[in-house]
Amino acid sequence: MMPINNTPASTDQANEYWPVFPEPTDEEVLLVTQSGLFDENWYRENYLMGRTEVMPPLIHFMRYGLRKGYKPNPHFDPRQYLTENPEAMRAGINPLLHYCIFMSAFKRQLGSNQNGRISEAALDSIWSQISTVMVGDIALKFHRINAVTAYRIDSFFEKEPETIDWLNTFADNAVFWDVGANIGLYSIYAQKIHHAKVYAFEPSVFNLELLARHAAINTLHQTDNKISIVPVCLSDSTKFGEFEMSHMTHGGACSTFAEGYDHHGNTLQKCFEYTMPGITADALIELYNLEIPDYIKIDVDGTEHLILSGMKKTLANSKVKSVLVETSFDFNEHASMINDVLKNCGFTLAVRAHADFYDASPYRSTYNCIWNRQ
């Protein structure tokens, strides 16, 4: 495992994006203390050595350290947590406190048997929490099992309105590749609303379960155009590599394959990794005699340019009508290669957009770019 950098990349950057968190109450301090998530000795050794502060380390963290991007322990990254849970940032809630409140409620809900193990009935209760998103008279169903999935469901139409608008241009029965499908929100939408034949590419073992469950509860296994789940990493070459994850959360993102960097081109602060196969899109189509897609969405948080590099033959096929690719314009190599590959394959940039709230977030330089065949 790569050692975690305990110092934020830029204190000024952290202060620029973060809200001013309110003074912690005694009850909030007690809740964090009881959670066991604040490592006092680790925090003191990493952030307070040589300082003269007389206040307890936890109070220092909640008053000052959080604003500087400091971590409460080696594994919990507050900046990453706020990125994944923007509702906490918008509300100005201390991310560690937000996590503690959510987890305490989650544990009460789970319950346990006498051996301290989570019971099957409790797990069934969690999976029974299903939210419905209505699109006209069509119901899309999704499991609401944690704060991340809840946010994804609740922000379905607001988080990426340009993606929804793009999906609504699909002709019925089109072939759609959803690369970086996550828990399958857009895959389900494309299939149920436009009867698309969907190939959902998702390498995360945590997201795969939800992706499969969402296909099941939306009865997509009973349709002519089933969702095909493809649990491999697309890349610029065929190889085995490390799939690195920044956290182990159902519905999480910010992972990378065989490169070690995030969507900004900075070193990914990983907490978990495993080896898995990667393959180019061109090789995959040839190997399995797959249909050429009509539409391609690529959102994998950093290696979109490499995936496009591995599908040049596919992109040159006139059957591909449009490509939506998440592009980080503060990652020069990434943005430049995306531009070059798509232009050389006959596409023109039609849309560059993101929701307004991204302008005040670490993703302010990241846009969904829609390229259409000339």
Question: What is the tens place of the pLDDT at every residue in 253-307?
Answer: 999 999 999 989 999 988 889 999 999 999 999 999 999 999 999 999 999 999 9
Residue 51 burial (CB count, 10 A):
9
Residues 349 and 288 in one domain: yes
Residue 40 has pLDDT above 70, yes or no: yes
- For residues 171 and 8, the model is more confident at 171
Residues 161 and 90 in one domain: no
Residue 328 burial (CB count, 10 A):
21
Residues 251 and 195 in one domain: yes
Q: Tell me the chain's radius of gyration from C-alpha atoms.
A: 22
Note whether residue 222 is domain-resident.
Answer: yes
Note whether residue 5 is domain-resident.
Answer: no
pLDDT in tens, 179-225: 999 999 999 999 999 999 999 999 999 999 999 999 999 987 777 77
Residues 172 and 100 in one domain: no
Give the domain range for residue 364: 154-373
Residue 344 has pLDDT above 90, yes or no: yes
Ranking 87-91, 109-113, 155-159, 165-169 by mean pLDDT, the lowest is 109-113
Q: 183 is written with which tokens? A: 């828990």
Q: What is the DSSP string of 264-309?
A: TSSBP--SEEEEEEEE-HHHHHHHHTPPPPSEEEE--SS-HHHHHH
Instruction: Please tell me whether residue 125 adopts helix, strand or coil conformation.
Output: helix
Residue 114 has pLDDT above 90, yes or no: no
Note whether residue 259 is domain-resident.
Answer: yes
Note whether residue 3 is domain-resident.
Answer: no
Check: CB of residue 290 under 8 Å from CB of residue 284: yes
Residue 222 burial (CB count, 10 A):
8
Note whether residue 6 is domain-resident.
Answer: no
What is the C-alpha separation between 262 and 184, in angstroms, rounded?
Answer: 21
Residues 102 and 159 in one domain: no
Note whether residue 143 is domain-resident.
Answer: no
Last residue of some domain: 47, 82, 109?
A: 109
Q: How many domains does the chain have?
A: 2
Q: Residue 135: what residue type?
A: V
Residue 116 has pLDDT above 60, yes or no: no
What is the C-alpha separation between 370 and 374, in angstroms, rounded?
Answer: 12
Note whether residue 4 is domain-resident.
Answer: no
pLDDT in tens, 308-329: 999 999 999 999 999 999 999 9
Last residue of some domain: 109, 127, 142?
A: 109
Give the contacts of 62 (CB within 8 A, at least 6 positions apart).
Answer: 21, 24, 28, 29, 32, 94, 96, 97
Residues 226 and 161 in one domain: yes
Residues 159 and 102 in one domain: no
Instruction: Please tell me whether residue 178 adopts helix, strand or coil conformation.
Output: strand
Residues 170 and 97 in one domain: no
Last residue of some domain: 50, 76, 109?
A: 109
Q: Is 161 exposed, middle or buried (0-12, 13-18, 19+ CB in 10 A)?
A: middle
> What's the confidence (pLDDT) of residue 76?
82
Residues 62 and 177 in one domain: no
Note whether residue 303 is domain-resident.
Answer: yes
Residues 279 and 193 in one domain: yes
Residue with tokens 């829609």: 370
Give the confidence band of 101 by pLDDT, cuts at 50, 70, 90: low
Give the contacts of 95 (CB within 8 A, at least 6 positions apart).
Answer: 66, 78, 81, 82, 85, 88, 89
The CA angle 354-359-363, to the nearest 5 degrees, is 75
CATH of the domain at 234: 3.40.50.150
Residues 103 and 160 in one domain: no
The CA angle 97-80-163, to the nearest 5 degrees, is 115
Residues 194 and 320 in one domain: yes
- What is the enclosing helix (H) or strand (E) of 35? helix 26-35
Q: What is the DSSP string of 78-116?
A: HHHHHHH-HHHHHHT--HHHHHHHHHHHHHHHH---TTS
